[in-house]
Amino acid sequence: MVTKRLMMVGLAIATAMACGRSEQQQAERAADQIQQGAEQMQRAAEQMAQGSTDQMAQGLQQMTQGLAQMAQGSGEVVDYEVLKGVLPTVSGWTQEGVRGEQTSMPIKVSRAEARYTRDAANVELEVIDASLNPMFLTPMTMFLSAGFSERSDDGFKRSGKIGEHPIIEEWDIPAKRGEVTVVVNSRFVVQATGHDVDDLAAVRQIVEAVDLSKLATLK
């Protein structure tokens, strides 16, 4: 299964392709900082693997510096109150537990969530912005590849689209659990996870109620 929370999360940031030149340069600088941070964290892991107390301490220090470098490379995120406004009301479902949060360290992340219930079924919905930081998005890249499909007697996992937006769908038959994850504008992640649902259509209904076109325009 795709990891549920700030995973998460896959598709390499492509924002620069849609930006003007100055914005593209800014995105490239951000990507450089993120890359430098990732390299520093890799060195830290290697240092810690060598095992001595001093080496582990040095590794932890390098890892902290690497995370800070990656945080500097992140773009500004949309305020979580704005993301809460994207959470939809859905006919036939009761919405509850609307909340949001925003952090700046170790990397910038903004998120909003809500829970939808109908009889025994419930669906948890998250909208996440980790602007210009591929840490959450890169793990999903292989699954977002066009035509990805995996099936068994217990269910399936496959890529697809909702409108123009790439998605990953998962269905676990024995658990009656479904998950739909959408990447919007190579930046936002919308993820719905359903429990005790009859089919994946119930989960898709929640995701499709989100105004993805509006979300794509947020900055």
- Domain span at residue 112? 80-217
For residue 112, give the 3-state DSSP assignment: strand
In a domain, 144, yes or no: yes
Rounded Cα gap, residues 6 and 19, in angstroms: 25
Task: Look at residue 10 in the predicted model and tell me its pLDDT.
Answer: 39
- Higher-confidence residue: 22 or 109? 109
DSSP strands (E only) in the chain? 94-103, 109-118, 121-129, 149-152, 155-162, 165-172, 177-184, 188-195
pLDDT tens per residue across span 77-133: 999 999 999 999 999 999 999 999 998 876 788 999 999 999 999 999 999 997 756
Sign of CA dihedral 22, 28, 31, 35: negative
What's the N-to-C CA distance of the chain in angstroms?
Answer: 30
**Residues 32, 101: one domain?**
no
Please tell me whether residues 93 and 63 are part of one structural domain.
Answer: no
- Strand, helix or coil at 110? strand
Residue 96 lies in a domain: yes
Residue 199 belongs to what H/E stretch?
Answer: none
Element (H, E) at 30: helix 21-49
Domain annotation covers residue 2: no
Domains in the chain, number? 2
CB neighbours of residue 178 within 10 Å = 24
ω into 174 cis (within 30 of 0): no
Query: Is the same domain home to 58 and 87?
Result: no
pLDDT of residue 144: 75
Count the alpha carbons within 13 Å of 155 in the hemisphere toward its beta carbon. Answer: 17
- Same domain membership, residue 149 and residue 41: no
DSSP bridge partners of 95: 116
pTM for this predicted structure: 0.68
What amino acid occupies position 47?
Q
